[in-house]
Chains A and B, each alone.
Chain A
Amino acid sequence: AQSVAQPEDQVNVAEGNPLTVKCTYSVSGNPYLFWYVQYPNRGLQFLLKYITGDNLVKGSYGFEAEFNKSQTSFHLKKPSALVSDSALYFCAVRPPGDNFNKFYFGSGTKLNVKP
């Protein structure tokens, strides 16, 4: 069964400090991996994706993520957090060979950036 785990319900960081939001997945083969951000009462906004190639991918708003195949992880990172980064973050996986492009989402991690 396909699954995505975000082990932390909440992450607290001070503004200016680096942040990491963790994601691990359980999918056989080489999946597509995505990060989305959700602000209150809004839909999901695409941040970045890993399809193939360089394990470090860069996305919107200064975010980046590192794909680690051996650890089946795709952690989201940012070198210097902003208060405006406070939101709900979701990791998603699309299993390989899924012609329907069905995404499986984690349960989300609430990021709190304090001034």
Chain B
Amino acid sequence: DTGVSQDPRHKITKRGQNVTFRCDPISEHNRLYWYRQTLGQGPEFLTYFQNEAQLEKSRLLSDRFSAERPKGSFSTLEIQRTEQGDSAMYLCASSPRVDTQYFGPGTRLTVL
């Protein structure tokens, strides 16, 4: 399967803990995006990488959130000191150019 993959698919954590999610984009795609989707809503943009450079971050990405894309391949999204309001589906997408984005299956985070 050469699609976008995300790990883990589900994460349950206690409030205050740190969590890290991984995204592996389609191999030839140099652009990578993170979105957050809450129940009943469409995905909301969080951040964007072109190769290893993080070029844009949404105001939704508070100081507790950090994302990296070392070497321009896979990406990680870390949430520190999780809060119940962080519970959501975190989606990763990649694209080869300024065009269609291809999404992974998502990581569903539940903060207790």
Contacts and interface: CB of A to CB of B under 8 A. Distances in A.
Contacts of B41: 107-108
A43 B105 contact: yes
Given A46-B102, A99-B98, A101-B95, A90 B31 contact: no
Interface stretch (A11-19, A34-42, A65-73, A79-87): A34-42
A105 B43 CA distance: 6
A32 B95 CA distance: 14
A43 B48 contact: no
B74 interface: no
Interface string B85-106: 0000001010101111111111
Q: Among A34, A101, A105, which residue has the most Cβ atoms of chain B within 10 A?
A: A101
Given A43-B105, A44-B91, A100-B48, A90 B99 contact: no
B101 A101 contact: yes
Contacts of A101: 31, 33, 48, 95, 97-99, 101
A65 B99 CA distance: 17
A51 interface: yes
Counting contact residues on chain A (CB < 8 A from B), the size range is 20 to 34
Contact of A90 (B4, B42, B45, B95): B42
B59 to A, nearest CB: 13
Nearest to B101: A103
A102 B42 contact: no
Contacts of B104: 43
A45 interface: yes
Given A4-B42, A105-B42, 19 more contacts: A36-B103, A41-B108, A42-B105, A43-B4, A43-B91, A43-B105, A46-B100, A90-B43, A98-B98, A100-B55, A101-B97, A101-B99, A102-B33, A103-B43, A105-B43, A105-B44, A106-B42, A107-B41, A107-B42
